[in-house]
């Protein structure tokens, strides 16, 4: 506790902001997992690999595509990649859903989990084979380089990190709003509850499932592009993150949209705070919380008891 | 055995079911259902629990695991059709458990279903028919009372423009005053020319509404009784239904 008290408000705020950045990634990824699990009943273990794929597509777009197509000066800049890379990853996920995942819906959760886990290993293996396990660096876009000063708190932050927090909050809130407040979202909520009945009412549920998977994966790809300038773009960047994200999902409760966002951000903050108080604990604090939540409320903080 | 056409039912056949077999997993539930319903008719499917009445409705909508035979809706064969396209032939379905989505408000439940016919009822007409629903529009679907949920389940299929209504046990567990209200609604729908297939346990509710009664036993229709023959067939029906 002494560390906490002796700390200046500035460095405290800085640590919390770092926590919030991690929390932004947790929120984006666990939101996608929650949407996918809700409608497809599939625990998408490939989520981390698809996040990595998003980062790699952005990096390839920036540094490799020009030479490939014979125009060395051509590069897919960050802002274009922020939309295009997640779309590429989502298109890939549509292919996976149509040809493979679709066959598993009738079976036990375990098959979906094993399949997506295998898919993650294949993707990570391929990218390690092609680009090596070492990370590639991705430059922060020019408009977001340099620090930004927040006078009210008296702190200085890298502009890019602030952008990451804002962008993911906007995307998370927009997704939540669309699901909870619009007719499109009403279809998703109804389909999550009773897909068979919704189909009997004349809704094209198989198409809905495909698009939902694609959107959940889009979010992972988007998080990947956001992450590219902060972390190294490496084949294993997803598997490092996804373990924590699954703990977040367990804590929040599977299938709760708002819950997955709040839990992601909240646990990011707690993790940041524990770096201040007792840095040695920061790597495990989320898992300790997970164990406690599992004992007290096994369905998760926002989950419904089955 | 094929259903006999009712003398007063001169309309075209809206639903023709022939030799319908249906399965859930390995269980073979329907063993050759045959019946047809003409435009504007109200037909009941009666029978004991587990006889296959609910499964017959579900099989029509493609909700069983497997089915064989023939189901023609408005002249179109539906076996082999994608499940989600069947409703678009103009079918409205009210499931036994009412199927109100709990994550949706009453109003969202009402507006959710896609249109499947040209002349869906307007919201005004629906709220005139079911005044309670207007007051509860913003409530979560499952906060509604059982009666209100049943009204909602009916109202939302009337909004879609469906002209063939498959209604499963709509009176189950409801207070007599609500059951009476539902009876009035069915009669109103009948005068407006809707075609209704009613799965019912409550024979006293069904008897004055229906043109014909089909009794299902062990996944087959074993008896069809027209309204005019009801008095003569009372003993047979009592025996078959165990009432």
* Cβ-Cβ contacts under 8 Å, A205 against chain B: 84
Token representation of residue B62: 């493609």
pLDDT attached to residue A124: 96
pLDDT attached to residue B4: 44
A183/B84 Cβ within 8 A: no
Give, rounded to a whole angstrom, the gap between the first and last alpha carbons of chain B: 24
pLDDT attached to residue A3: 60
Which domain does A94 fall in, by range? Answer: 2-296
Give a yes or no: residue A86 inside a domain: yes
**Which has the closest alpha carbon to B157: B101, B114, B107?**
B114
Indicate the number of domains in chain A: 1
Give a yes or no: residue A301 inside a domain: no
**Which has the closest alpha carbon to B214: B36, B15, B11?**
B36
* Cβ-Cβ contacts under 8 Å, A206 against chain B: 84
pLDDT band at B142 (very low <50, low <70, confident <90, very high): confident
Give a yes or no: residue A30 inside a domain: yes
Token representation of residue B157: 């299929």
Contacts of A154 (CB under 8 A, 6+ apart): A9, A10
* Cβ-Cβ contacts under 8 Å, B166 against chain A: none
Those residues of chain B whose CB sits closer than 8 Å to some CB in chain A are 58, 61-63, 83-88, 93, 95, 99, 101-104, 108, 111-114, 116, 160
- Give the distance from residue A37's alpha carbon to the nearest chain B alpha carbon, in angstroms: 16
Residue B73 bridge partners (DSSP) = B15, B76
Residue A300, Cβ density class (10 Å: 0-12 exposed, 13-18 middle, ≥19 buried):
buried
Rounded to whole angstroms, how far apart are CA atoms B90 and B74?
8
B84/A199 Cβ within 8 A: yes
φ/ψ of residue B195, rounded to 5 = -105, 130
Contacts of A36 (CB under 8 A, 6+ apart): A42, A44, A47, A212, A213, A216, A217
Give a yes or no: residue A205 inside a domain: yes
C-alpha distances out from residue B61 to A118, A160, B23, B215, B225, Å = 36, 53, 14, 20, 25
Give a yes or no: residue A288 inside a domain: yes
Residue B15 bridge partners (DSSP) = B37, B73
- Asked whether the beta carbons of A82 and A225 are under 8 A apart, the reply is yes
pLDDT attached to residue A236: 93
Q: What would the pLDDT profile of B46-103 be if each residue is shown by its tens digit? A: 998 889 999 999 999 999 999 999 999 999 999 999 999 999 999 999 999 999 999 9
Rounded to whole angstroms, how far apart are CA atoms B238 and B243?
5
**Which has the closest alpha carbon to B197: B10, B9, B15, B22?**
B15
Domains delineated in chain B: 42-51+88-241 (3.40.50.300)
Give a yes or no: residue A273 inside a domain: yes
pLDDT attached to residue B233: 81
Mean pLDDT confidence for B113-126:
92
pLDDT band at B243 (very low <50, low <70, confident <90, very high): low
Mean pLDDT confidence for B131-149:
90
- Give the distance from residue A199's alpha carbon to the nearest chain B alpha carbon, in angstroms: 5
pLDDT band at B240 (very low <50, low <70, confident <90, very high): confident
Beta strands (DSSP E) in A113-263 are: 147-150, 155-158
* Cβ-Cβ contacts under 8 Å, B114 against chain A: 201-203
A200/B86 Cβ within 8 A: yes
pLDDT < 70 stretches in chain A? 1-7, 153, 305-306
* Cβ-Cβ contacts under 8 Å, B87 against chain A: 200-202
- Residue A200's CATH number: 1.10.3470
pLDDT attached to residue A8: 73
**pLDDT tops 60 at residue B1:** no
pLDDT band at B241 (very low <50, low <70, confident <90, very high): confident
A196/B86 Cβ within 8 A: no
Give a yes or no: residue A302 inside a domain: no
B99/A197 Cβ within 8 A: yes
Count the neighbouring beta carbons within 10 Å of the beta carbon of residue A154.
11
Q: What would the pLDDT profile of A124-176 be if each residue is shown by its tens digit? A: 999 999 999 888 999 999 889 888 887 776 778 889 999 999 999 999 999 99
CA A40 to chain centre: 18
A190/B85 Cβ within 8 A: no
Q: What would the pLDDT profile of B34-56 be if each residue is shown by its tens digit? A: 999 999 999 999 998 889 999 99
**pLDDT tops 70 at residue B3:** no
* Cβ-Cβ contacts under 8 Å, B160 against chain A: 201-202
Give a yes or no: residue A303 inside a domain: no
Mean pLDDT confidence for B10-24:
92
**pLDDT tops 50 at residue B2:** no
pLDDT band at B228 (very low <50, low <70, confident <90, very high): confident
A183/B112 Cβ within 8 A: yes
Residue A273, Cβ density class (10 Å: 0-12 exposed, 13-18 middle, ≥19 buried):
middle
Residue A198 Rama label (left phi>0; alpha psi -120 to 50; beta)? alpha
pLDDT band at B5 (very low <50, low <70, confident <90, very high): very low
Contacts of A270 (CB under 8 A, 6+ apart): A19, A285, A286, A289
């Amino acid at each position: 506790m002494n560390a906490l008290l002796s700390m200046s408000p500035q460095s405290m705020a800085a640590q919390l902001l770092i926590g919030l950045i991690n929390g932004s990634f947790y929120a984006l990824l666990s939101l996608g997992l929650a949407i996918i699990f809700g409608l497809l009943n599939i625990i998408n273990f490939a989520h981390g690999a698809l996040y990595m794929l998003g980062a790699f597509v952005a990096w390839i777009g920036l540094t490799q595509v020009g030479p490939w197509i014979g125009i060395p000066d051509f590069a897919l800049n960050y802002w274009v990649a922020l939309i295009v890379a997640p779309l590429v990853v989502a298109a890939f996920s549509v292919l996976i859903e149509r040809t493979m995942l679709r066959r598993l819906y009738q079976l036990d959760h375990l098959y979906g989990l094993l399949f997506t886990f295998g898919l993650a290993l294949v993707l990570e293996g391929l990218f390690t084979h092609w680009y090596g396990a070492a990370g590639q660096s991705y430059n922060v876009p020019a408009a977001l380089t340099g620090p930004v000063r927040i006078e009210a708190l008296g702190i200085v932050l890298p502009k890019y990190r602030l952008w990451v927090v804002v962008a993911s909050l906007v995307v998370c809130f927009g997704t939540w709003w669309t699901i909870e407040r619009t007719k499109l979202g009403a279809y998703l909520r109804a389909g999550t509850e009773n897909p068979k009945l919704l189909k009997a009412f004349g809704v094209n549920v198989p198409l809905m499932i495909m698009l939902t998977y694609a959107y959940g994966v889009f979010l992972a790809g988007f998080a990947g592009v956001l992450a590219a300038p902060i972390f190294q773009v490496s084949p294993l960047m997803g598997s490092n993150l996804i373990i924590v994200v699954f703990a977040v999902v367990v804590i929040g409760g599977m299938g709760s949209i708002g819950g997955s966002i709040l839990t992601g951000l909240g646990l990011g903050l707690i993790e940041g705070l524990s770096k201040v108080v007792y840095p040695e604990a920061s790597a495990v604090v989320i898992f300790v919380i997970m164990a406690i939540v599992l004992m007290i409320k096994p369905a998760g903080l926002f989950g419904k008891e089955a | 055995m094929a259903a006999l056409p009712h003398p007063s039912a001169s309309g075209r056949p809206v639903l023709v079911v022939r030799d319908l077999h249906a399965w859930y997993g390995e269980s073979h539930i329907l063993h050759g259902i045959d019946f047809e319903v003409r435009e504007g008719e109200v037909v009941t499917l009666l029978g004991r629990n587990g006889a296959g009445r609910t499964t017959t409705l579900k099989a029509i909508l493609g909700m069983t695991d497997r089915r064989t035979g023939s189901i023609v809706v408005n002249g179109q064969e539906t076996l082999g059709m994608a499940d989600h396209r069947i409703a678009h032939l103009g079918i409205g379905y009210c499931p036994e458990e009412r199927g109100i989505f709990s994550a949706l408000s009453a109003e969202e439940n009402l507006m959710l279903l896609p249109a499947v016919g040209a002349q869906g009822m307007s919201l005004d007409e629906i709220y005139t028919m079911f005044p309670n629903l207007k007051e509860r529009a913003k409530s979560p679907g499952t906060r509604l009372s059982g009666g209100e949920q049943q009204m909602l389940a009916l109202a939302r299929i009337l909004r879609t423009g469906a002209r063939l209504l498959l209604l499963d046990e709509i009176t189950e567990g409801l207070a007599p005053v609500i059951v009476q209200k539902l009876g009035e609604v069915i009669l109103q729908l009948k005068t407006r020319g809707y075609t209704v297939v009613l799965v019912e346990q409550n024979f006293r509710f069904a008897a004055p509404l229906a043109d014909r009664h089909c009794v299902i036993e062990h996944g087959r229709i074993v008896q069809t009784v027209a309204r005019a023959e009801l008095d003569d067939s009372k003993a047979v029906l009592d025996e078959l239904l165990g009432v």
